[in-house]
Structure 1
Amino acid sequence: MDSLTHLTNNIPWQRLTTAYGRGTDIPQLIETGQYEELSSLIEHQSTLWQTTPWVLMILLQELSKQKPEQVSLQEIQLYTAVASTINVDEMDSQHAVETMNELLDEKYLWPEDEEDDELWWEEEEPRGYDQEAFSSYFSYSYLLLKDAIPVFTAIMEENDKLAPAIQELLLMLQSEGERAVE
């Protein structure tokens, strides 16, 4: 079994939500490189979802193995869509769970059965969307993107077509103070 399959198989996608329901289709979308579809599931109307940090973790691990000329604009646009939702200057004040794996604790996961999903969404605070968990989707997504800056930079230096899009992404990952220094 390759590492991508191993990674995707160890995440309970069917119990994590996206902008349009459960994350059941995400492993197939990752495997087939359907970045636009993935982007619409993990970021919607400036909101990140339970699946977002997990999708980023897998995609960024795979990105680091790609040759710069193999990277698509759609993939970079996915990262930019996520980065555009993050207020970098507020990341330190976020109250996130201690580790990303805690987001897979039973208390955050949705039930196996999808029958009552509409009722779950109507709750004042749906499972996995309390303040701490919700902040964690942003915090861990930001940390994953920030950790990938060397990978983005290497791609930008080798792929002139993607350079403007990656430059925009890198700017989004900087705080106001970092931008002022440049």
Structure 2
Amino acid sequence: MNSLTHLTNNIPWQRLTTAYGRGTDIPRLIETGQYEELASLIEHQSTLWQTTPWVLLILLKELAKQKPEQVSSQEIQLYLAVASAINVDEMDSQNAVESMNELLDEKYLWPEDEEDDELWWEEEEPRGYEQEAFFSYFSFSYSLLKDSIPVFTAIMEGNDKLAPDIGELLLMLQSEEASADE
């Protein structure tokens, strides 16, 4: 079993939500490189979802292994969409859970049975969307993107077609970093 399959199989996708329901299809979408569809599931109207940091974790690990010319524009657009949803000025790490793995605790996961999902969404704070957990989707996503700046820089230097989009992404991450330092 390759590391991608192992990592993907250890995440309870069917108990994590996306912008359009459960994350059950995410492993297949990752495996087949369906970045546009993934982007619409993990970022929607400047909101990040339970699945977002996990998708980023997997994609960014794989991105680091790719040659610059192998990277697609759609994948970079996915990272841009996530980065554009993050407002670092509102971030304070004290509001996040301690580790990403904590987001897979039972108290944040949706039930196995999807029958009552509509009722779950109608709750004032649906499971996994309590303030601390919700903030953590943004916080960990930002950390993962920021940690990948060297990877993005290397791709930008080796792929002229992607350079403008990656430059925009790096500016977002660096300007957010500067805002966070002020």
TM-score (structure 1 length as normaliser): 0.95
Q: Shift of residue 92 of structure 1?
A: 3.2
Answering whether residue 25 of structure 2 is matched by residue 7 of structure 1, we say no
CA RMSD of aligned residues (A): 1.2
How high is the sequence identity, in percent, across the aligned residues? 88
Counterparts of 1:130 and 1:153, CA distance in 2:
35
Structure 1 SS opposite 2:14: helix
Counterparts of 1:5 and 1:140, CA distance in 2:
22
Equivalent positions of 1:2-151 (< 5 A) are 2-92=2-92, 95-151=95-151
Counterparts of 1:86 and 1:50, CA distance in 2:
15
Counterparts of 2:160 and 2:91, CA distance in 1:
31
- Following TM superposition, the consecutive aligned residue runs of length 4 or more in structure 1 with deviations greater than 6 angstroms are none
Question: 1:107/1:176 Cα in 2 relative to 1: closer, same or farther (>3 Å)?
Answer: closer
Residue pair 2:93, 2:139 contacting (<8 A) in 1 also: no
TM-score (structure 2 length as normaliser): 0.95
Aligned to 1:161: 161
Question: 1:177/1:3 Cα in 2 relative to 1: closer, same or farther (>3 Å)?
Answer: closer
1:119-157, Cα deviation, whole Å (9 max, x unpaired): 000000000000000000000000000000000000000
Point out where structure 1 has 5 or more consecutive residues left out of the alignment.
Answer: none
Residue pair 1:107, 1:128 contacting (<8 A) in 2 also: yes
Counterparts of 2:114 and 2:94, CA distance in 1:
30
Q: Which amino acid aligns with 1:131?
A: Q
Residue pair 1:39, 1:81 contacting (<8 A) in 2 also: yes
Q: Which amino acid aligns with 1:35?
A: Y
Point out where structure 2 has 5 or more consecutive residues left out of the alignment.
Answer: none
